[in-house]
Amino acid sequence: MATTNDLKNGMVLKLDNDQLWSVVEFQHVKPGKGPAFVRTKLKNVLSGKIVDKTFNAGVKVETATVDRRDMQFSYMDGEYFVFMDMQTYDQLHVARNAVGDSANFLVEGFTATVAQHKGEVLYVELPAAVELVIQETEPGVQGDRSTGGTKPATLETGYTIQVPLFITTREKIKVDTRSGDYLGRVNS
């Protein structure tokens, strides 16, 4: 248990029938009239839905213990992603729905943060940007345009993103894992 005065970004709360909500933002507000309150932006850990919620200052809220560990992605085993804990070398089978969109950017050997609550995997989080190799893309034809054009490119994971026309096959690029956007070339 904690009070709303103890809230921090990233803290996981148990609200509304034991649903887990992560604190994205919070703000303590002391209006000129009336009691103080805490305005929060909460993200549902399982669905990703973001809601605004207001608490009275000092109200007790139930916190959840979420174990976050850096694990290395080893391989696919049917519908499961197999991660290895780098300290204990234990292997963990994670279902595709817990991995979510991170599956588009996972390559064997990548390190990801795996969050668990009571032995159940909640989500898998990759770093903000990863380096991947372009598996296939068409040669770019530069026309008479005032702004840079883009073309589709298939990454080594099989996921397709838009890249600038000058990018070629087998080139290593940096990709934003949150949006799937091209960030730039990687100098080898």
Task: Work out the average pLDDT over 1-8.
Answer: 85
Position 170 scores a pLDDT of 92
Distances in whole angstroms, Cα of residue 125 to Cα of each of 18, 62, 105, 116, 173? 22, 24, 11, 12, 20
Q: Quick check: 150 pLDDT over 60?
A: yes
Q: Quick check: 146 pLDDT over 80?
A: no
Where are the domain boundaries for CATH 2.30.30.30 in the chain?
A: 2-63
**pTM (two decimals):** 0.74
Classify domain 129-185 at the CATH topology level: OB fold (Dihydrolipoamide Acetyltransferase, E2P) (2.40.50)
For 67-125, which CATH superfamily applies?
Answer: Nucleic acid-binding proteins (2.40.50.140)
The answer to whether 19 and 44 have CB atoms below 8 angstroms apart is yes
Where are the domain boundaries for CATH 2.40.50.140 in the chain?
A: 67-125, 129-185
| Rounded Cα–Cα distance for residues 32 and 165 (Å) | 57
Q: Quick check: 141 pLDDT over 70?
A: no
pLDDT tens-digit readout, 71-108: 999 998 888 999 999 889 899 999 888 888 888 999 99
Position 143 scores a pLDDT of 61
Position 142 scores a pLDDT of 61
CATH class of 2-63: mainly beta
| Rounded Cα–Cα distance for residues 123 and 105 (Å) | 15
| Rounded Cα–Cα distance for residues 43 and 23 (Å) | 7
Residue 46 DSSP label: T
